[in-house]
Amino acid sequence: MIDRAINLVVLAGPTGVGKTDLSIELAKTFNGEVVSADSMQVYRNLDIGTGKILPHEMQGVPHYLIDIQDPDQTYDAARFKEAGQEAIRKIHRSGHLPILVGGTGLYLEGLLYDLEFGGKNSTDSLVQQKLKAELEESGIEALWQRLNQLDPFAADKISLQNPRRILRALEVIETTGQRFSDQMSHQEKQSRFREYLFVLNRPRQQLYDRINQRVLQMIDQGLEDEVRSLYQRNMDPNLPAMKGIGYKEWRPYFEGKESLQTVIEQIQQNSRRYAKRQLTWYRNRMKNVHWLDVSQPDYIDNAIRQVAQFIEEG
């Protein structure tokens, strides 16, 4: 079902770029409500390390798909697509403007272009059962390396933090004999909504400096205690919540094998690399993008003008 009658503003952008401030300004200006498209902010108790918006920062603007899943459970792009599309319809029915905000490229793409993430039959296929057994035995890095050999373009697009996607890519390759990236490239992208898509960006060094400083702020805010409380629950280290940047780097430190400074530097480096991958995804995978340099002093006014025109033309 295509909902082209629904206006949707999308704010994508790399981690640390500053999506929150603009989302609140647009929501207040256009009577909007925010749908989060962040694969880690869905988890409860993962607050500091995910940069989750605080209640007072929301300024009364309703937010959806934050704190909806316990961290000992999994949440994926297929579930997000369903929940996100329903949230957008609900906001539209209330007469408000839905604003989709986040950096998880697969979540954004799946929702906007209604991508399929595999059906019930694929879940129980013999090939996938075999791959899951290999995952238990060899680990996700070994499976990613195999994907990199068979389909390097797909491997470049799929992070180690997304084991379900890695398994799906290998399953497609083994069952069809075709590269997963071919399916990704040729899948028709018909927008589900009438959307206006911003990608927020900054000069690279400025973005990296912000990311480094943001990690230090997370440390000051108590990230170590937040992560330690998760580890004390003895959760499976392969759970998505435990493999996110800002969380996965702590185990050697808790075991006395690394210093706090090493952990901080690893989180900073992983965050910078993730930001680079995000920008590559937006350039290669998203259509009709309006790039917005948020280092410019008038970027909020610029965005408001563009959204006003978008709504007027609709």
CATH assignment of 125-176?
A: 1.10.20.140
CATH topology of domain 7-116+186-313: Rossmann fold (3.40.50)
Q: Specify the DSSP class assigned to residue 131.
A: H
In the chain, where are the structural domains located?
A: 7-116+186-313, 125-176
Contact in structure between 242 and 71 (CB atoms under 8 Å): yes
DSSP states along 245-309: TTTGGGHHHHTTSS-HHHHHHHHHHHHHHHHHHHHHHHHHH-SSEEEEETTSTTHHHHHHHHHHH
Residue 56 DSSP class: G
Taking the CA of residue 269 as centre, how many other CA atoms within 13 Å lie in the half-sphere pointing to its CB? 8
Helices 77-93, 105-113: axis angle to 10 degrees equals 60
Using alpha carbons, list the distances in angstroms from residue 145 to 140, 148, 170: 9, 5, 11
List the structure tokens of 255: 């075991």
Q: What's the pLDDT tens digit per position in 142-176? A: 999 999 999 998 898 898 888 888 988 998 888 87
pTM: 0.80
pLDDT in single tens digits along all 314 residues of the chain: 567 789 999 999 999 999 999 999 999 999 999 999 999 999 999 999 999 999 999 999 999 999 999 999 989 888 999 999 999 999 999 999 999 999 898 899 889 987 776 544 444 457 777 888 788 778 898 999 999 999 998 898 898 888 888 988 998 888 878 888 876 654 556 788 999 999 999 999 999 999 999 999 999 999 999 999 999 999 888 899 999 999 999 999 999 999 999 999 999 999 999 999 999 888 888 889 999 999 999 999 999 999 999 999 97
Determine the Cα–Cα distance for residues 202 and 82; give it in Å rounded to an integer.
31
Whether 125-176 and 7-116+186-313 are alike in CATH topology: the answer is no
| 33 neighbors 24 (Cβ within 8 angstroms) | no
Binding residues for ATP: 13-20
Binding-site annotation: residue ranges for substrate: 15-20
Q: What is the dihedral of CA 226, 228, 231, 237, to 10 degrees?
A: 70
Token representation of residue 30: 């256009």
For 162, 252, 261, the CA distances from 39, given in Å and listed in that order, are 10, 24, 27
* Binding residue positions: 13-20
